[in-house]
Structure 1
Amino acid sequence: MEQLFLLSDNFMIKLPSTLSSENGAITIVYAIIFPALLAMVALALDGALMINRKARLADASSEAILAISAVDNRLVDSVAIDNNKQIAKDFVNYYLPNNQAEQLKVVVTSFDRTIEKGYIDYKIAISATLPTLLPLGHLGFSAFDRSVTVGNFDNNSGNARKFVTVISDPADYVFVVDFSDSMNSSYIDQGRVTTRLAMLKQVVREVISGNKNPDSQFAIVPFDIGVPFRIKDSVNTTSSYANKENEGGGELVGCSALYVPKPQYAPDKIDYNFWANKNISQKQYPLFNNSKNSIFYNLDRGRYFYYRFIVGKALNEDMGDLEDRGWCTLNSSAAAPMGLYTHSCEAQSAESIFTPANKLKIEEQYDNVTALLDTMRAAPTEERSSIANSLTIDYASTLKYDNLFGTEAIQEFIQPWAPNMYEYRAFTGMCQSATPLRTVSPRLSQSQAEEQMAATFTSARAQAFLIPLTTSSEEKTRLISDFAGMSAGGGTDSTIGLLRSVPVVAAGTNPKKVIIVISDGEDEIDPAIVADQFHSRGMCDVIKAGLKDEGLFASGKTGVVANTVEIHYVSINDNNNESRMAFWGKYCARGDDTTDQKQYTHTATNYSSLIETLVSIIGVETGFYIQDSQNGVDFPVTESEENVPLS
């Protein structure tokens, strides 16, 4: 009995430690949760893998259908069908290498609208059965089975539209393109964030590249408030800036406008290029005779600022260095009453404000210049920021054949590579797309703006510029490349762009002329007034008639007597679109006369609609991606579709 009690006591003593022991506990827990963990891992790994494979299959189908549309065999027979399937197989094997697919199904279908629309739609449906990494589904786990079938049926891939050349006649095409700042606006097109300008560049590249007629010529006329140009394309052959560079070896950037000024603002009364880089305080000193020395002091100060803070900083030189170059002269008696700033600067001595000829020019023209600037620097609500504004233009004279179709009425000047300030630029509002736009604001000081412009001075190059009609395939390729590198900025003046395009298209030698105005919105306030005046006076009818005029051809104003002239207006923004379309349709973008009811107004707010619009105007042979909703092909993917062997 005593032994029994001893055993009982020992048992009771050891019981707590036995019950509290953890040996083997984790094994039990792990055995319970392991299948669930394994299923979760399998589902995560294979799920991610399938998403990746589905995306790669979508890429393969998009690339394959574009290649198939380029071949364009129209599925005419079994050989054509087999060739298309082989193309698809090659792309799938590239995007899903190492024979990942156990089974592949391909069907290619076409929808031919070449007769009525000039294009054919192709669609490809691909499904692939692919192995999984952890095939646990067949064991009862919540995971994928041994293989999974993925396809491109719900992601807008595998669609392409092939445009076929339906317009065979060669033509001169001039794109008059809105380069205002709003063209930088972002929007989403086919799921991608882009800008209107980027979309336009892509479409123009594809349309011009797709035009197969070697005799067709293309030109670009970009506009904001003015039309920028490169010096090599200047029409003013006697200008002081011909074949010149800036002081650092960078390009000079030109700005132009075609119009006839009223007599007070005529080129013989205002040398626009001379005054473009001058610091003019027209409010403080409106009349030359009242403030002669102060005016010269102010002009001298502006040139000093340019050389010290732009040229000097760009070349890493101080005023002493610029004196050694002979570009600047120290003034010992500098003062406003003397008409001299601390230094007088000008690299080209003939351009100095102190030469006898230029002193006389300043004396004779200053009052006209201040009157011009009064029209431009009015209340902000009037926005007359162009030399060609509603108060300066002689409308009737501008529309005369000799002025409209020649180069004599093209006003040109060099826009300084400097901050967008009156101290540096007399005509600040013009051709802002052509240079980096650095305007002093609470976020950008004057010194910062000067430093930023100086940093790019030696490599200065126009960011947007007119490109005359191409004359070869090499020039066409260069046009596409140059256009792709352009930037937008500034306001909108469609009339200044259209007028400037006239001598450009007139120089071409094809009897068919096509001007295509592309814009994303309304003109600014004063340019809209100018547009009303020119359009209501029959500007577009004058352009069309002049291009067909034998007398202008005989005088050398045009390169050929045109037999067909079209002016199209393409809106890439549907805001206030109805009124703009009505305006252009009434006055300009229509048939040759009032009896011709044909309309050349178009709305194209995304990539696919814009390329379709331009293709309908120009006629090209090219292919591009479209969405399911745009494709005329509609078919189910069924088990009856033929499998494509993997090898």
Structure 2
Amino acid sequence: MKKFYLLSLKFCKDKRGAIAVSFAFMLPALIGFFSIAVDGSRFNAERSRLNDALNQSVYAVAITNNGNNTAAFRAQNNNQVVSYLSYYFPDKQISENDVTVTVNNQLVPGPGGTPIPAVDYQVNARVIANPIFDLSKNGSPGFSSNVTITGNGLSGIVRRTLVVNPSPGDYVFVVDFSGSMAEDSAQSGLTREKLLKKVVRDIGDEIFDLQDGSTIGIVPFGSGVPVILNKKNYASSQSKEYGCSFIGKMHGRFEKLDWNFWYNKPGGKGLPTEISKYVTKTDDALYDYYWYISDFQGYRIDRRRTNWLIDNNYCRQSGDKLLCDADPKSDIHNQLNQYKLKEQYSDFVAFTALEEDYHSILNSGTVDVAGTVSGDYLFDESNVRTISSFHNSYSLYKLPPDGDRSIFPATHYSCNWASPIKTKLETLTTISKPMYYLLELSTHKQIINEFEGMKPSGGTNSLSGLLRSVPLIAKGKNPRKIIFVISDGDDDFPKLRQDMMAKDNLCGVIKEGLKKYPANTSTTESDIYYISLVHNNTIKDWAENCVGQDNAFIATNIKELMDVIRQAIYKNEIEYLNPNDVK
């Protein structure tokens, strides 16, 4: 045994150099094969992790569904993908340049073979991985120092498809009808007004053709929301007053104002402090109103004019003066109204001065915000108020009859620009409705026909339209309620709206309230969307303070508008796709 051990030791000593040399030659290859085995498994695992990240990120992009058609939207989508990749690969620096997002609009077969819109979203990305052993510099087998890993082509693709039979809904379009809507849109050959009407027509036809009980209401707004009134304006048997409709709790001093009395009185800044002088100015303004009415009727000789006005109970003789007001509820000389005049005059003066400052009934000086957003206030139709827009702002068009008096025209309380007499005073005798006005919820296409006859004019106060839409849509009986606010510009005075949205959660109050009020409502789903017809800052404003990023859109042409509105009305299905199914 000892002899064998000695022989073996001698052999090892004699061959030691040759074995070392052989091992030295074989070692790089052995390390290379080890690297291929170990790093190859690592890289396959990272590719699997990358595919998981792509599947998650593309789903998020599809939910956002911004179209990827502007630089801002592309950056938004790329940032989402980078966020997911960074979560899955916390040890790597992921750049937007490593990400590709592709969006393709499709028409795919729907129920019965009818083509329905779909959008295919595809995401791909690359990450750089490093092997454990970097042998590329000395030519040994193995991976290079930077290995690019990409998706395997079987992940990162989803299809978002519209479902053509959503549950019934109540849909209200709160639409900007300010003067700028008469300007050209990005859709060739169409003004913004006509673009909007075309889209409301097309989407309205689709909704009504479902015949599932869905309703549409329309709230056109300028500086306020005009409404039709069945109230004679005394110019002729065919002519009517129109009103300015609003909802919003007023501060205490303004809540008590009786608009059945004040609606036809001179307002605005510069009113006298003495009530007696104000009475004189009111008499002058109302005399001018009825003077023009008699003129339209052909009574141009003073004696005949006076007799006609008295015979028709428009005026009464008081000494050598005519006192005119055919409405006993507003007659400033009616003994029953003297208390209102004395008790409310200072508050009326303050209110109309604020209305003149802000061009709106709803402004920071008049609205009790806490009371407005409290409980069911906004959802109760009985809280809606309408001020008759009395047509006696005639000093804007003609000199007063005797040419030497300063006439204080009555304010129109936010809705003056909806008056047809803005174009021709003589139309006072034929007014039947304002230039645009609120349309109640309807299941009939006639509502679209009526909307198409309206004309834009005036300023912009989107808060008046949004608030007024709430009690309107709350009257609907369907389980879904969606409000679309569509505008082409900034509000004239946005502060109150911005404060109510940012500080008082106005839009959250509306969305949650529609599911609670009125009692026993059937509503289970409610939402608000904001759509800008132009590129401006309002989209950021509404996204951050009201509707959220997912419900704020810029849509400048028919296709974009239809896509956005359809996306909201029709429920969407999102499904992962096999690349072989993508055409």
**Fold conserved between structures, TM > 0.5:** yes
Among candidates 117, 120, 126, match of residue 119 of structure 1:
117
With 347-356 and 177-186 compared, the bigger mean Cα shift is at: 347-356
Sort the Cα spacing of 1:420 and 1:213 in 2 relative to 1 into closer, same or farther, 3 A. farther
Structure 1 partner of 2:226: 228
Among candidates 446, 467, 471, match of residue 503 of structure 1:
471
Q: In the alignment, is residue 250 of structure 1 matched against residue 239 of structure 2?
A: yes
How far 1:245 moved relative to its partner?
A: 5.6
For the Cα contact (< 8 Å) 1:184–1:488, is it kept in 2?
Answer: yes
5 Å-filtered alignment, 1:177-188, equals 177-187=175-185
Structure 2 partner of 1:279: 266
How far 1:199 moved relative to its partner?
A: 1.1
Sort the Cα spacing of 1:369 and 1:350 in 2 relative to 1 into closer, same or farther, 3 A. closer
Structure 2 partner of 1:297: 280
- The amino acid of 2:435's aligned partner reads Q
For the Cα contact (< 8 Å) 1:230–1:254, is it kept in 2?
Answer: yes
Among candidates 270, 291, 305, match of residue 308 of structure 1:
291
How far 1:461 moved relative to its partner?
A: 2.0
* Aligned residues between the structures: 405
Among candidates 462, 465, 473, match of residue 434 of structure 2:
462
Sort the Cα spacing of 1:505 and 1:359 in 2 relative to 1 into closer, same or farther, 3 A. same
How far 1:561 moved relative to its partner?
A: 3.3
How far 1:188 moved relative to its partner?
A: 5.7
Q: In the alignment, is residue 540 of structure 1 matched against residue 535 of structure 2?
A: no
5 Å-filtered alignment, 1:373-412, equals 373-378=352-357, 384-412=358-386
SS class of match (2:460)? coil
Structure 1 partner of 2:410: 426
CA distance in structure 2 between the aligned counterparts of 1:502 and 1:573, rounded to whole angstroms = 25
CA distance in structure 2 between the aligned counterparts of 1:464 and 1:366, rounded to whole angstroms = 31
5 Å-filtered alignment, 1:84-99, equals none
SS class of match (2:201)? helix
CA distance in structure 2 between the aligned counterparts of 1:373 and 1:485, rounded to whole angstroms = 31
5 Å-filtered alignment, 1:104-253, equals 112-113=107-108, 118-119=116-117, 166-187=164-185, 189-190=187-188, 192=189, 194-211=190-207, 212-214=209-211, 215-231=213-229, 241=231, 244=232, 246-248=234-236, 249-253=238-242
SS class of match (1:351)? coil
Structure 1 partner of 2:349: 370
SS class of match (2:307)? helix
For the Cα contact (< 8 Å) 2:181–2:488, is it kept in 1?
Answer: yes
Segments ≥4 residues shifted beyond 6 Å: none
Sort the Cα spacing of 1:420 and 1:301 in 2 relative to 1 into closer, same or farther, 3 A. closer
Sort the Cα spacing of 1:371 and 1:111 in 2 relative to 1 into closer, same or farther, 3 A. closer
- The amino acid of 1:580's aligned partner reads T
How far 1:456 moved relative to its partner?
A: 4.2
For the Cα contact (< 8 Å) 2:168–2:480, is it kept in 1?
Answer: yes
Q: In the alignment, is residue 531 of structure 1 matched against residue 492 of structure 2?
A: no
Structure 2 partner of 1:160: none
Sort the Cα spacing of 1:358 and 1:255 in 2 relative to 1 into closer, same or farther, 3 A. same
SS class of match (1:504)? helix
CA distance in structure 1 between the aligned counterparts of 2:566 and 2:184, rounded to whole angstroms = 24
CA distance in structure 2 between the aligned counterparts of 1:376 and 1:326, rounded to whole angstroms = 32
Give aligned-pair identity as a percent: 29
CA distance in structure 2 between the aligned counterparts of 1:580 and 1:351, rounded to whole angstroms = 41
Sort the Cα spacing of 1:171 and 1:187 in 2 relative to 1 into closer, same or farther, 3 A. closer
How far 1:187 moved relative to its partner?
A: 4.0
How far 1:284 moved relative to its partner?
A: 4.6
For the Cα contact (< 8 Å) 2:245–2:385, is it kept in 1?
Answer: yes
Sort the Cα spacing of 1:421 and 1:400 in 2 relative to 1 into closer, same or farther, 3 A. farther
Measured against aligned partners, the alpha-carbon deviations of 1:80-127 in whole angstroms (never above 9, x if no partner) come to xxxxxxxxxxxxxxxxxxxxxxxxxxxxxx963467x94289xxxxxx
Structure 2 partner of 1:259: 248
Structure 2 partner of 1:573: 534
SS class of match (2:239)? coil
Sort the Cα spacing of 1:208 and 1:420 in 2 relative to 1 into closer, same or farther, 3 A. farther
**Structure 2 alignment gaps of length 5 or more:** 1-104, 120-160, 300-304, 397-406, 572-582
Q: In the alignment, is residue 553 of structure 1 matched against residue 514 of structure 2?
A: no
CA distance in structure 2 between the aligned counterparts of 1:321 and 1:568, rounded to whole angstroms = 54
Measured against aligned partners, the alpha-carbon deviations of 1:564-615 in whole angstroms (never above 9, x if no partner) come to 11100010011x2xx322221223213xxxxxxx711111112222222222
Sort the Cα spacing of 1:177 and 1:305 in 2 relative to 1 into closer, same or farther, 3 A. same
How far 1:164 moved relative to its partner?
A: 7.7
Q: In the alignment, is residue 332 of structure 1 matched against residue 319 of structure 2?
A: yes
How far 1:231 moved relative to its partner?
A: 2.1
CA distance in structure 2 between the aligned counterparts of 1:263 and 1:168, rounded to whole angstroms = 44
How far 1:485 moved relative to its partner?
A: 0.5
Structure 2 partner of 1:518: 486
**Structure 1 alignment gaps of length 5 or more:** 1-109, 122-162, 233-240, 334-341, 379-383, 439-448, 555-559, 591-597, 621-633, 635-647
For the Cα contact (< 8 Å) 1:177–1:223, is it kept in 2?
Answer: yes
Sort the Cα spacing of 1:546 and 1:529 in 2 relative to 1 into closer, same or farther, 3 A. same
Structure 2 partner of 1:606: 557
How far 1:229 moved relative to its partner?
A: 0.8
Among candidates 425, 430, 438, match of residue 453 of structure 1:
425
Q: When the two structures are superposed, what TM-score results if normalisation uses the length of structure 2?
A: 0.65
5 Å-filtered alignment, 1:622-637, equals none
CA distance in structure 2 between the aligned counterparts of 1:181 and 1:429, rounded to whole angstroms = 17
- The amino acid of 1:112's aligned partner reads L
- The amino acid of 1:477's aligned partner reads K
For the Cα contact (< 8 Å) 2:185–2:195, is it kept in 1?
Answer: no
For the Cα contact (< 8 Å) 2:108–2:118, is it kept in 1?
Answer: yes
Structure 2 partner of 1:381: none
For the Cα contact (< 8 Å) 2:268–2:355, is it kept in 1?
Answer: no
- The amino acid of 2:451's aligned partner reads F
How far 1:376 moved relative to its partner?
A: 3.0
